[in-house]
Amino acid sequence: MDGKIQRVTIIGGGFSGAMLAARLAEGGIASTLIDRGGDFGLGVAYATPFDGHLLNVRSNRMTAVEGRPDDFVSWLTQHHPDHAAPEGFAPRRLYGLYVQDRLAAVDAACPGLISRVLGEAEAIDGAAVRLADGRVVEGDAVVLATGNPTPKAASSGEVEGRVIGDPWAPGALDRIGPQDDVIVVGTGLTMVDMVLWLEARGWRGKAKTLSRRGLTPRGHEARPDAAIAPTDVLLKAAPSQRLHEARRLSGDANWRGMMEGLRPITAELWQAADTRTRARLVRHLRPWWDVHRHRIADGIAAALAALQAGGRMTVTAGRVSRIEQDADGVSLSFKPRSGPAQPPLTARWLIDCTGPGHDPAKDPLTGPLLASGRARLDALRLGLDLDAQGRVLDADGATDPRLLVLGPPARAAFWETIAVPDIRKRIEDMAKTLGGETAA
């Protein structure tokens, strides 16, 4: 068809998809939200029922609407005043309710512009999406906003026995007894969520955690840190000099302020970097970047420190060699990052917290796009190759105006694309792009 894009099909009804639908409706563009779970606006992160799962960003930076910085805090003040501290870290459950409220409010104000479809997207053909039950959703453009995929161990199917492959699956932790020891593979944000959730459920066992480098998320300070303006060396020098400068700035002031100074321009720095520089960042710096950049609330950091001080949580650096299990428990053999060999870790259960299993080539939606040449992987094979507006590039590098990517699946193009402040900016840019796009 010719003419402006009038309806967008959005695959994924979590934060990214729902808030894009709301923003498009405010601009007069209709959309169809497809979600297989039906909890539109929540996704995995905000569907948690546990109020101990807190936001990792202060409330005054968590508005869902670009240009309205007080939106979330105002909503908290009206609906949940006990959690309305602007510099506090509200429960993620409440943030999910806020997102759903915004979606509902825009839906009411813009009748007929937001449609919701419960179903699982199975294939993309042009700008049409076929669902698993055979239905076809038509539109002028498609946006992939599918969030993070399931963990690596669970991505090929259900993991049975004493290995809990997807800790976010309903009832996944129910089998763990109050005194059961657990092995946790992965020491990032998912590990933090699972250990604290177990603790709140009355669990008093031990957590033996393992990751390749043994790094855990750093905590925020009780008060916000002022951003330190990046120097020219930090922005323009060779990678090794940049790292030296980051360490110098951190020593002269504080590392949190240095990270805050980089936050608004991280995507631009990533896009400006050549492939060799990106590869070095991914290979050598990313684990340290992640634990310093994606920090946890100060109270949660203190709770983890208390578990470690009390001997109930250990952190080991090493690579998994073998996992064995029987009716009584599980054993994990590993190669230490340094030092002599160590005995296997043993426990009643193993929880996989290694993070999302990003592999577009194996994904049922994006795999066929890659095979047909409609899409291609980026040079580092981190994800789909996109232009600066989030539009998919085909095998020849041409832009596809009818196929776009938003949120975590767009990480290859933007690097930082999982936190609300970053996705919020992408939503604003994408709404403008779609508003000015002409359907082929």
Task: With a cut of 50, say whether residue 23 has pLDDT above it.
Answer: yes
Q: Please report the pLDDT score of residue 2 as a whole number.
A: 52
* Confidence bin at 214 (pLDDT 50/70/90): very high
Q: Please report the pLDDT score of residue 157 as a whole number.
A: 38
For 250-269, what is the mean pLDDT? 88
Q: Please report the pLDDT score of residue 36 as a whole number.
A: 93
Tell me the domains of the chain and their CATH numbers: 7-149+358-436 (3.50.50.60), 152-218+296-352 (3.50.50.60), 232-293 (no CATH)
Q: Please report the pLDDT score of residue 438 as a whole number.
A: 65
Q: Please report the pLDDT score of residue 158 as a whole number.
A: 43
For 276-304, what is the mean pLDDT? 92
For 289-295, what is the mean pLDDT? 91
Which of 173-182, 242-251, 355-364, 404-413 is predicted least confidently?
Answer: 355-364
Q: Tell me the pLDDT of the chain averaged across its residues.
A: 92
Report pLDDT digits (tens) over 165-193: 989 988 999 999 999 999 999 999 999 99
Phi (first) and psi of residue 323, to 5 degrees? -125, 125
Q: Please report the pLDDT score of residue 58 as a whole number.
A: 96
Which of 21-30, 33-42, 174-183, 263-272 is predicted least confidently?
Answer: 263-272
Q: Please report the pLDDT score of residue 206 as a whole number.
A: 98
Name the residue type at position 325.
Q
Which of 80-94, 170-184, 253-267 is predicted least confidently?
Answer: 253-267
Q: Please report the pLDDT score of residue 150 as a whole number.
A: 66
Query: pTM for the whole thing?
Result: 0.92
Residue 45 or residue 58, greater confidence: 58
Q: Please report the pLDDT score of residue 159 as a whole number.
A: 46
* Confidence bin at 148 (pLDDT 50/70/90): confident
For 59-87, what is the mean pLDDT? 96
Q: Please report the pLDDT score of residue 1 as a whole number.
A: 42
Task: With a cut of 90, say whether residue 263 has pLDDT above it.
Answer: no
Q: Please report the pLDDT score of residue 160 as a whole number.
A: 64
For 371-378, what is the mean pLDDT? 96
Which of 56-65, 241-250, 364-373 is predicted least confidently?
Answer: 241-250
- Report the DSSP pairing between strands 141-144 and 7-11: parallel
Q: Please report the pLDDT score of residue 151 as a whole number.
A: 64
Q: Please report the pLDDT score of residue 334 as a whole number.
A: 96
* Confidence bin at 111 (pLDDT 50/70/90): very high
Q: Please report the pLDDT score of residue 156 as a whole number.
A: 37
* Confidence bin at 253 (pLDDT 50/70/90): confident
Q: Please report the pLDDT score of residue 4 as a whole number.
A: 85
